[in-house]
Structure 1
Amino acid sequence: MISIALGITFILFILISVIFGMNRAVGFLPLLLLLAFLISFFGFIIINFFPLILIMIGIAYYRRRKNPNRGRGFYYKTYRAEDFEEFFRQNGQQFGGNNGYYGGNSQGQGNFGNYFEDKTKYYSVLGVHQGATKDEIKKAFRDLAKQHHPDKFSNESEDVKAYHEKKFKEINEAYEKLTKE
């Protein structure tokens, strides 16, 4: 068995030196000697079951090529930013409360809700100041919604209708974002 192991090692050494050069072959020498030791030690198993081992390696390679994510230990799920925003918004309310603990303010918002979204644009869309109460926001929303409602401009040109529909959507979005909490 030792002679077979040394013969295989010698053949591999010659192949490596021809393909990659003598310097690389000398660099592979410790690995080749370890391989010779393993072949001589497990020679009976390797030689007798070598075709079966090759078939199993081939099947595994084919399956991995066919489905590259199969057989991996971890599955990485992609998350949307909205998922994180919702999580932090809920936890900001839960830990924030009205008493100000964990970074909450007097309106029940935790600091988490402020990290992901700049709400200043929504205040400017509704035309209210940033510290406005929910009643002030609701009043501004109703006034602007009456002013820009699409049904009011059903007989106008397409450009005018499109402008007011867009404006109405912005107003609705601003109202939803500011009163969601």
Structure 2
Amino acid sequence: MISIALVLTAAIFLVIAILFGMNRAISALPALFFIMLLISFFGVMVIQFFPVILMFLVIRYFINKFINKKNPRKKTFYYQSYTQKDFEDMFRNQGNQYGGSYQGGYQNNPFGTFEDKSKYYAILGVKEGSTPEEIKKAYRELAKKHHPDRYANADAEIREMHERKFKEINEAYEKLQ
């Protein structure tokens, strides 16, 4: 009876290896070992019910395969591209979340700021590394030019554009001070 069990188990192993690949066949070895033990201990009974057992295992395999596709616990990762603005917003929110004000990074960051200040120089129209006096002069000129009070009687669209520009100028000046 043991030789029949070994031959039958080897045949099932080969069928699994041919149909599903060697990795699946190797992962099925514990189940095949269990089938071999059943055949050797219960011999005739297992051989008579072998088609039912095999059908049960095949049905169970496909049920598990279908359930794993719809398993909500299975983690799927989707990658998204981020822009510099996304990271700046994240650091700004983190600073506010922990009770500190955003100062270019975390409040007690020993490594300095995280943001690129070149855009602030571009907003004020000065070169990078300009002196504080040059930055202040450029800020005052642009603030006079785009101050919302100068455009109080203008169209709503023009007024909003100058208000946005004025806010950008103020933010740039605050960052560069």
TM-score by length of 1: 0.46
TM-score by length of 2: 0.47
